[in-house]
A and B are shown apart, each in its own frame.
Chain A
Amino acid sequence: MKYAKRTIHYVLLILIALLVMAPLLLGIWASLLPTTDIVAGHFNSLNISLNNYVAAIQTTPVVLYMWNSLVISSLIMVGQLIFCTLAAYAFAFLQFRFKNGIFFAFLITMMLPFEAQIIPNFQTVRALGWLDSYPGLTIPFFTSAFGVFMLRQAFLQVPRELKEYSDLIGLGRLQFLTRIVLPYTRSTIITFVLYTFLTHWNAYLWPLITTFSDAHRPTQVGLKQLQSEDTFNNWGVIMATAIMVLLPTLLILIIGQRYFRKGLNAGGVKG
């Protein structure tokens, strides 16, 4: 009886998993098929090969796009790590006037979607001459209200005693942050860093409007570029590049899964 129930559960789960995974599996399958078969709808064809991947690397700038994404996402990741931890530290450990008011102002910007800030940001970046460059693609994202909020919540859980102890042994503020707070909140920090990386690996709108050449174009915009409007699309190659672009995301998710769960819950329950 017990086994029957469990079997039913697993069968159902597998079915649902397949259903959810179907587009991805179909995409992977299509990336192995020649375009002629895809266009003709012969998805049961067994003409599979890695030719599309070879063609993608040799004929499209996908490697360049992925490099750009890697650079942009890494820079933003480092930038946010520095600025958000410093700000969160201030909100969590320091006492100063209007602290709550300022924190509230931070939270308000979290409610404001990035799309609403695009025009002023674009004007600024344009005036600075940063269009189509790494600074223009990264510096506007060097801090985030969500990051500050998330890290502050985590920092608040660092026991007071540790702060007192570090004062006693004469650690400075920066030392306290790097030697005690960061290791203590490691899983939140890792979640935050990976989350930032993923968000910007998948960024679309901002790069779309601020990049004008392949030299700085990241993956998601690059992928869109591979599709043409009114001519024939080489779907095999497009699918192959899409899968290549997807790989880092999957890797990070698989590696970081346990941190993600821990980290995102960490701020929620105050214990």
Chain B
Amino acid sequence: MKKWMKWVIALAATVVVFIIGNTAVHQWAPSHTVGAPSGRIVVPFWHAINGPNGKTLEAMVARFNKSQKKYWVESVYEGSYSLTQSKYINTLHSNVSPALIQIDQGNGATTLGINNYVPAQEFIDKDGYDLSQIYTNVLNAYTIKGQLLSIPFNSSAAVLYYNQDLFKKYKVPLLPQSPTYSQIANAAKLLTQRSGDNVKGFTMQIYDWLADELVANQGGELVNNGNGRTAVATKANVNTPEMRRVFTWVQGMIKDGSFQNYGTGSGASANQMAGFVSGKLGMFMQSSAAMGTIAKSAKFKFGVTFMPHPDGVPANGVAIGGASFWITKDKPAAVRQGAWEFAKFAISPKEQAAWQAATGYIAVNKNALKEPVLKKAITQNPGLLVPVAQLQAAKNNAATAGPFYANLNQAAQFITVAMQQIYAGGDINKALSTAQQKTDQAIQATNAVDYDLLKFDHIGQ
């Protein structure tokens, strides 16, 4: 009997310790999610932005929650874009699924195919929201058959960064706003030679998106059927004159030794950033969203230009990268409305201005440029205007709207492999035609199974 009591006491003590510990830890430990006060309609919001930018986004959510008394947005970081998307698919119609989700462009076509969304257009029409304040080029990226599917939020475009101090030190002429391939190659060569190989002139990370952007800048589309926007894509455009021009240019620089290959993956992107920041690399191309980091860590004056274009091919402008907010269908109407209210808040001039100033993503709202926060940031770092200017200068066509197809992430791997082969000195034509063939096969395999899901006949009817 006595022993029995001892066990009960031990068990009770454990339970008490658990409850106290659990409450204490959940209350005290810094967490990305803050519990909702009672009486609010909770809007679960999943996003894929982490690090300093994630903190900026959370601050935005906190401002929204404070700004009104009806809704409470519960933001949760769910990992990379692809992971967020697959978690979304796994939890469809379950008790933990989100009402608002941030989906990148690569996963747009599948998100459309899952068909668990309310088109943003519906809320815009109902609200009479004035879309003219959002950049047309940004809207195009998320518009299919004239219907805006999701709300553009974090938009970035690739730009070229260069170390102006190095250029001056080695007496290399500074780059114009929209440089050509030969200007880049020339500058890279001069930097490398005049520094006695201490500085490498240029790099292009083995990252399919950069190749895609360079193709878009020549007006090239990456898949048929208007970049997959008039109908489901059935064929890829990988082995094209546009792609070949990009890699001929790159191989030229590899051959004359002015190119530094940092490899592929997130390590490569960190290494090229480190190389640039420490003054060992003259120029590189990266998302405009990297500008905040560069501005913080570079101890020299850096310049920002448009993405380069081949000599003799006019710059068409690049596609908008980044992600948008999708409102999901499987939630009660009040929650969906809350999701839209937050999305509307997030793309307001004030919030977008703060967003661009803090992160380097391009404000999607034209009026953001009038906000004092952004004005001040631009005076401090005029480079912030370059991606905006690039966006404004871009033509409105399917190339700048960007590719829209379900195999985009798969194709990315094939292009990555092709880039590795080309960087190692392989034949451009052969590498690209293999990538072309594999991408075509992937598209056909997907279409054979999922065509009915992916086709977007339901839009605009």
Contacts and interface: CB of A to CB of B under 8 A. Distances in A.
Interface in A54-68: 58-64, 67
Contacts of A62: 29
B48 interface: yes
Contact of B297 (A39, A131, A229): A39
Interface in B76-98: 76-81, 87, 90-91, 94-96
Contact of B53 (A67, A213, A226, A231): A231
A71 B48 CA distance: 27
Interface string B2-22: 000000000000000010011
Contacts of A202: none
Q: What is the interface residue range for chain A against chain B?
A: 20 to 34
A230 interface: yes
B30 interface: yes
A122 B96 CA distance: 13
Contacts of B22: 67, 71
B230 interface: no
A129 B278 CA distance: 51
A66 to B, nearest CB: 9
A234 interface: yes
A182 to B, nearest CB: 14
Nearest to B74: A213
Given A214-B31, A215-B31, A224-B79, A230 B269 contact: yes
B270 A60 contact: no
B54 interface: yes
Interface string A229-261: 111111000000000000000000000000000
Report which residue of A41, A59, A63, A231 has the largest number of chain B beta carbons within 10 angstroms of its beta carbon: A231
A212 B87 contact: yes
Given A67-B21, A131-B95, A214-B32, A230 B289 contact: yes
A44 interface: no
Given A41-B274, A131-B96, A231-B50, A61 B30 contact: yes
Contact of A126 (B78, B91, B274): B91
B87 to A, nearest CB: 7
A67 B19 CA distance: 12
A132 B33 contact: no
Contact of B33 (A67, A126, A213): A213
Contacts of A230: 269, 287, 289-290
Given A40-B278, A122-B90, A214-B76, A64 B50 contact: no
Contacts of B297: 36, 39, 232
Contacts of A212: 46, 76, 78, 87, 91, 96
Contact of A231 (B77, B78, B94, B293): B293
B51 interface: yes
Nearest to A38: B274
Contacts of B33: 213-215
A64 B51 contact: no
B266 interface: yes
B277 interface: yes
Contacts of B96: 131-132, 212
A225 interface: yes
A33 to B, nearest CB: 14
B274 A39 contact: yes
Contacts of B287: 230
A47 interface: no
Contact of B77 (A63, A129, A209, A225): A225
Report which residue of B29, B32, B76, B270 has the largest number of chain A beta carbons within 10 angstroms of its beta carbon: B29
A212 B45 CA distance: 11
Interface in A23-42: 36, 39-41
Contacts of B274: 39-41
B398 to A, nearest CB: 25
B52 interface: yes
A232 B52 contact: yes
Interface string B92-106: 001110000000000
B334 interface: no
A117 interface: no
A95 interface: no
B430 interface: no
A129 B21 contact: no
A229 B94 CA distance: 27
A56 B50 CA distance: 15
Contacts of B53: 228, 231
B25 interface: yes
A229 B266 contact: yes
Interface in A102-150: 122, 126, 129, 131-132
A126 B94 contact: yes
A233 B273 CA distance: 11
A60 B277 contact: no
B26 interface: yes
Given A212-B78, A212-B91, A61 B278 contact: no
Report which residue of B18, B31, B297 has the largest number of chain A beta carbons within 10 angstroms of its beta carbon: B31
B77 A232 contact: no
Report which residue of B21, B46, B53, B76 has the largest number of chain A beta carbons within 10 angstroms of its beta carbon: B76
Report which residue of A122, A226, A233 has the largest number of chain B beta carbons within 10 angstroms of its beta carbon: A233
B29 A67 contact: yes
A125 to B, nearest CB: 10
Interface of B: 18, 21-22, 25-26, 28-33, 46, 48-54, 76-81, 87, 90-91, 94-96, 266, 269-270, 273-274, 277-278, 287, 289-290, 293, 296-297
26 contacts: A39-B277, A40-B277, A41-B278, A58-B30, A60-B30, A61-B29, A61-B30, A62-B29, A67-B29, A71-B18, A122-B90, A129-B94, A129-B95, A131-B96, A214-B32, A214-B76, A225-B79, A226-B50, A227-B266, A228-B50, A228-B53, A230-B290, A231-B54, A231-B289, A231-B290, A232-B297
Interface of A: 36, 39-41, 58-64, 67, 71, 122, 126, 129, 131-132, 209, 212-215, 224-234
Q: What 3 pairs across the A-B complex have the smallest Cβ distances?
A: A228-B50, A228-B51, A64-B29
Given A209-B87, A231-B293, 20 more contacts: A41-B274, A59-B30, A60-B30, A61-B31, A61-B32, A62-B29, A64-B30, A67-B29, A71-B22, A126-B94, A129-B94, A131-B95, A132-B96, A212-B87, A224-B79, A225-B79, A228-B50, A229-B48, A231-B51, A232-B296
